[in-house]
Amino acid sequence: MVTQMDVARRAGVGRRTVSNVVTGFPYVSKDVRERVLRAIEELGYVPNRAAQQLRTGRSGVIALTVPEVGVGYFGELGNLVVEEAAARGLGTVVAQTRGSREREITEIERLLALQPDGVIMSPLGLTAEDLAGVSARTEVALIGEHFVGSPIRTIAIDNAAAAGDIVTHLVQSGREHIAFLGMSAASPNFNQLRRRGYLEALERHGIAPVAAVEARDFTSADGYDAGAVLAARLAEGAQLDAVFCVTDEVAIGAMRALHDAGLRVPDDVAVAGFDDIVEGRYANPRLTTVSPDKREIARQAVAAVLGEPADDAQIAYRLELRESTTGIVQPA
Amino acid sequence: MVTQMDVARRAGVGRRTVSNVVTGFPYVSKDVRERVLRAIEELGYVPNRAAQQLRTGRSGVIALTVPEVGVGYFGELGNLVVEEAAARGLGTVVAQTRGSREREITEIERLLALQPDGVIMSPLGLTAEDLAGVSARTEVALIGEHFVGSPIRTIAIDNAAAAGDIVTHLVQSGREHIAFLGMSAASPNFNQLRRRGYLEALERHGIAPVAAVEARDFTSADGYDAGAVLAARLAEGAQLDAVFCVTDEVAIGAMRALHDAGLRVPDDVAVAGFDDIVEGRYANPRLTTVSPDKREIARQAVAAVLGEPADDAQIAYRLELRESTTGIVQPA
DNA sequence: TTGAAAGCGCTAACAT
DNA sequence: ATGTTAGCGCTTTCAA
């Protein structure tokens, strides 16, 4: 193994100087820096992480848990977190929890054994207590899910407000019978917030909610099933001209079900989602949705676990009004 | 931070003794061991991995790359590798490559930066040269893919033999027009081996191969498309009574396409796959397939990257003869 | 701007 | 069966 000392000898400088070059310490003459760099190159020197970690107390690795990696919203977000961390010279180790509390706990234990500098989580089943246990052991930041009263840093948009905005858009484009398609009360917080935003917005506009259809979970399959129920009700004469879905994936499933039932989106029923996943941009019709600033979420989450002070409380979002509610086709 | 020294003081023993207890060194009296364990418990001592790594030269982490995590064959295999590693006290960091050479390279770089004790790969796009570069930097074991002439340890079943066996089963159950459904020549090695096994078996039985249908890739969607082509040919009068698919996922897609075209599996066309993924056991009809000993693959892969001597050259497999070729329903 | 040297927490060779 | 001790490779304080 090539050590710093080898490099120092080769470059004819002291060890300290090599360290300075490696860590980017500014006061090194250009000449010396180049000599060191060349020696590093020639020797194929790679800093030993264990030694760095032992010395600095930082492992240079952060951990990330998501329900599902490489799929949908959390997949996209996960990639951004990995990117953001890499840009800061940090490695990211990812665990997939499938949203069950049990798996979330096992996976967290696995990750913690690696002694990461911090962990970013998107908990779906974890309790506030579980979380407190974790945050006693390492820096924690939460993405998406809020735990009211918990001191843990959470990075999220204002879910209720965003849901309200999209419902308002539906109302303003003339829809009068708007259903919410999501989970019931006993569900992750974000689902409840989006549902509440929907209810409050309807109330503001003096419109009665349509009897809710419950999705079992957040997959497109669940959306399809719920969408089929909706279509059946419509066939029986129920009043319905818009559906606000708790996530894009659910919305995409619902659109397919409506289409299969011979209904046109948005002509017969407008459909809106939430999260702005890539699939929604290429769906047919293109899906109207709430687009959170994912890159900013990733940035702040990484900053948060590194203990940097929070800059903004809330993440920005904007409405992506597309074909599935407006009927207007725009380039992706 | 609680150190070994703190524990030693608390337990009234030397540091060496604490180390002995932690690392499972045998010669510690029961009495002392318990005292140390209690002190560890009371103090909440956790060994510092960086220090361990610096001392031993091992990071206690292995890396794993798979095309897709948590899905299908590689997902199942990945979980087994993680389990096997955990049983040996090793952490596993996983990367998802999506099968492209480019991603495979970036992901490997990311993993290598973590300085793992070894990496287990399922390369799909990597060249033998790429691989040589990696294996110069760390211990490498390959799963599934063979690189002829490469010195890198490969854990795999005899793909050609297994493919031959399943084709023989098809022949022996009276099928005479057997198609291969997989990728073309320019494809990962395992695809070519399975294809070759199919051709050689047919030749042994004196049966001519049916004009091949090419699948773009290894997903169920690809299988569906290819299956649809097959169904169309059949409708035009082509002779066909069995399909051997390069993977279970392709087979599942193909079965759906055949079913959609009004064909009965296995009455009209028998379908066999390869890999024995869980979905195949619950497919309708249940899928006949080659079942490699996945747990043994995982075990040997982990052993290989740890530099343990190879015990067997080849992994065992067996045929799972199920409904999709036999027509006989058996419990899953 | 660079050198010398201490020490991060741990394991294992050596000694007892 | 247990204690003593020398580093593993690195960063960083102190001094020059």
CB contact under 8 A, B49 and A115: yes
User: Which pLDDT score is estimated for B329?
Assistant: 85
Looking at per-residue pLDDT, the higher value among A17 and A292 belongs to: A292
The fold of A159-291+319-326 is Rossmann fold (3.40.50)
Write down the domain spans for chain B.
4-54, 159-291+319-326
The most distant pair of C-alpha atoms in chain A lies apart, rounded to whole Å, by 87
Instruction: Please state which CATH number belongs to domain B4-54.
Output: 1.10.260.40
- Residue A65 near chain B (CB below 8 Å): no
Q: Measuring CA to CA, which residue among B240, B290, B238, B246 is closest to residue B265? A: B240
User: Which pLDDT score is estimated for B24?
Assistant: 81
Quick check: A323 pLDDT over 90? yes
pTM, full prediction: 0.87
Quick check: A308 pLDDT over 80? yes
CA distance readout (Å), A239 to A132, A140, A191, A244, B93: 46, 46, 24, 15, 51
State mean pLDDT over A193-198: 96
CB contact under 8 A, B69 and A115: no
CB contact under 8 A, B54 and A59: no
Pairing mode, strands A91-96 and A139-143:
unpaired
Strand D bases near protein CB (under 7 Å) are: 1-5, 7-13
Distance between the alpha carbon (CA) of A27 and the C1' atom of C1, Å: 6
User: How many Å lie between the alpha carbon of B176 and the closest alpha carbon of chain A?
Assistant: 39
Distance CA(B204)–CA(B143), nearest Å, equals 29
- Per-residue model confidence as pLDDT tens for chain B (332 residues): 888 888 888 888 888 888 888 888 877 888 888 888 898 888 888 889 999 998 988 999 999 999 888 778 999 999 999 999 998 989 999 999 988 899 999 999 999 989 999 999 998 888 888 999 899 889 999 998 777 778 888 999 999 999 999 999 999 999 999 999 999 877 888 999 999 999 999 999 999 999 989 999 888 999 999 999 999 999 999 999 999 999 999 999 999 999 999 999 999 999 999 999 999 999 999 999 999 999 999 999 999 998 888 776 689 999 999 999 999 987 76
Q: Please count the other Cβ atoms lying within 10 Å of the Cβ belonging to residue A110.
A: 18
User: Which pLDDT score is estimated for B174?
Assistant: 96
- Residue B86 near chain A (CB below 8 Å): yes
Element (H, E) at A19: helix A15-23
* Residue-wise pLDDT tens digits, A242-279: 999 999 999 999 999 999 999 999 999 999 999 999 99
User: How many Å lie between the alpha carbon of B51 and the closest alpha carbon of chain A?
Assistant: 6
Q: Least CA distance to B92: which residue of chain A?
A: A110
Q: Measuring CA to CA, which residue among A147, A95, A116 is closest to residue A306? A: A116
Distance between the alpha carbon (CA) of B106 and the C1' atom of C11, Å: 34
Name, in order, each residue with C-beta under 8 angstroms of A236's C-beta and a sequence gap of 6 or more: none
